[in-house]
Amino acid sequence: MKQTDTVVRHGPYPELTLPAVLVGYFLGAIIAISIGYAALILGFSIEGSELAAILGFAVLRGMLGRHSIVENNVTQTVASAVNGASSGMMFSVPALFILGYTDFDPVLLTFGCIAGAFLGIAFIIPLRKQMIDYERLTYPGGVAVATILKSPGAGVQKAKLLVGAAAVAALVHFGSQMGGVDNWDLGALIGLPEYMNGVWYLSLLTVGVGFIAGRGGIAFILGGFVCYWLLAPLLSGFDLLPLDAAGNPVTLPNALRVDLFRPVGIGMLIGGALMGIALALPLIISAIRSMQSAAVSKSVVSKDEMPIKLLYIAIVAAAILLAVMSILSTEHMGLGRGLLMAVMGTLWIWIAGVILSEAIGRTNWSPLSGMTLIAVTILIIIAKGLGDAEAVIAAVTLGAAVCVAMSQATDLMLDLKTGYLVGATPKMQQMGQFLGAWLGPLLVIGLIMVLHEAYGLGSEKLPAPQGQALASMISGILGGDIPTEKYLAGAGIGALLSALSGGLGITVGLGFYLPFNIVLTYALGTLLRELCDRYKGDAYSESVGIPIAAGLIVGEALIGVGFAVSYVMEGL
C-alpha cells in the first residue's frame, strides 16, 4: 500500500486510546526500573516525563504510524504515572532492609502504595485550574515535554540517539561489572591526602544525570567539595579530625563521611525541608482558597475535570484506607493509634502535595525526600510506644504510601501543564494517571526485593542514600544515640541556605551526605552540560545532549538490574 504524505482526519484526534495506554505501560515499566535503580545509587530520582515523551514519540509515530500529539501526551502521562512509584518507594522502603526489619508484609505495603498513589492524584486534581490555567505556575519540566511533543519528526531522531547511548552505557557497565572495576583512585596516583578522597565512580549513568540536571546540580556538587576539599584539609591542619577508638585521627573518606559529614547532611536535609514548609505557608493558604474557588465555579470546571466531589470522597477514602493499613501493619497497633496515624498521614499527603506542586511548578525542583523524612518522623513518633520493630515497620509502611502519594501529585501537575500546552483534555490525562498509577508499586517492590537479594540494600554497590538517611534518623529517634549537635548544626545550616534560596539547603545537604566518588563523577556531567550550552547552544543540548544523557541512564540501569537478576537466579 502506497503511503501518502497528507493525513486526512475527520473528528477529534485520538487521545485516551488502548494503544496509548498499553505503550504507556510498556515504557513506564522500563523507566520505573531504570530510574528506581539509579535512585538507589545516587540518592535522588529523575523526572521520567521527558524520557517517556521521547520514547512514546518513537513507538506511536515511528512504529505504529499514529500522529496524534494528545494521544502521545496520554502515553507519556501513563508512563510517568507508572514511574511515580520509583522515587516514592526507593526513598522509604529500603530503610526497612537497612535496619534489618524485613518482617513486614510486602503485599500490604504494595497495596498501601497503590492506594496512596490514587489519593495523591485525587487530592491534586482540584488545584489544576488555579495552578495551571490561570498561569500561576510555569512548570519548566512540563514545558520541556510539550516542546518535544510539538516537534514532529524530531522525536524519532532523539529516540535513536537515546538508544545508541543506552547501548554504549550498557556495554561499558557490562565490562565494568565483569572486570570488577567500579572506581578509579586518581587521588592516590597524584598524591592527594587520603581525606581529600580522589576516587572516581566509573558510571556513565552518573554522568548522564549530571548533564540533565545541568546548573541545577551545582549546589549538590559544592556540598561534596566543601566536605572533602575544604573542611577535611582545614580539620586536618588544625588537628581537629575525629578520633577513632585507638585515639588516631580518622582520615579514611568513608569513615569521615559516616562520623561527620553524613549526620550533618541529614540535619541539612531536614532543616532545609522545614524552612521550605515555612516559606511555602502563604502558598498553602492560597491553594486552599483556590480549591474553594474551583468548587464554586463548577459550571466551567466540570466540563474538563473529573468531578470535584472526588476530592471529598478521597479525603474520606484516605482516612479509611490509611487506617486499615496502619492497624494491620503490626500486631499491637490498636485502633486509636492506627486512626491517629491515618489522620496525620492524610493531612501530610495534602499539605506536602501542595508544597511539592508549588515547588516544582516554580523551580522544577521537588523536595520529595525531605517531605518523606518528615512524614516518617511524625509517624514513628506516634508509633514509638509499640517497640522498635513494630514502630519502624508501621511508620515506614504508611510513610511509603504517603511518599508515593506526594510523588503522584507532583507528576500529575507536570503532565497537566504539558497537556495544557498541547491542547489535551484534562479529564483524559487524569484518567490516564489513574490507569498508570497502580502498576508502579508492583514493579518497584519486586525490584527492591531482587536487588536486596543480590547486593543488599545499603551496601557499597547499592548505598540507597535516602534509605540510609531515613534509617539513621529512625535509629536516632528510637535509640537515643543521636549525634544531636551534628543534626542541629546541619539543620541550622540547611534552614539558612533554604531561606536564601529555595531548596538550597537540601541540595547542598545531599552533597554532604552522598559518597564523594559519586559527586566527582556527577560533576563531569554538569561540566559537559555547561560546555555544551556555551559552545554548541541550548538547542543542541536539548535536542542532542539530553537524549544521549537519558540513554546513558537507561542503558547502565538496565544492565545493573540484569546483573542483579542473574545473581539471584544463580543462588536459587
Residue 480 — left, alpha, or beta (φ > 0 → left; ψ -120 to 50 → alpha)? Answer: left
Q: How confident is the model at residue 441 (pLDDT cuts 50, 70, 90)?
A: very high
Place of cell 516514592: 88
Judge whether residue 569 has pLDDT over 70.
no
Report the distance separating Cα 567 and Cα 571, nearest Å: 6
What's the mean per-residue pLDDT of the chain? 79
Judge whether residue 568 has pLDDT over 60.
no
Judge whether residue 291 has pLDDT over 80.
no
pLDDT digits (tens, 9 = 90+) for 45-60: 666 676 777 777 778 7
- Burial of 246 (C-beta count, 10 Å sphere; 0-12/13-18/19+): exposed
Q: How confident is the model at residue 3 (pLDDT cuts 50, 70, 90)?
A: very low
CA dihedral 411, 415, 417, 420 (to 10 degrees): -150
Judge whether residue 558 has pLDDT over 80.
no
Q: How confident is the model at residue 572 (pLDDT cuts 50, 70, 90)?
A: very low
Q: Which of 117, 147, 170 is nearest to 409 (CA)?
A: 117
Other CB atoms closer than 10 Å to residue 86's CB: what's the count? 30
Task: Give the predicted TM-score (pTM) of the model.
Answer: 0.71
Report the distance separating Cα 327 and Cα 134, nearest Å: 42
Query: Collapsing DSSP states into helix, strand and coil, what is residue 145?
Result: helix
Residue ranges with strand state E in 119-215: 183-185, 199-201
Q: Write down the pLDDT at residue 359.
A: 59
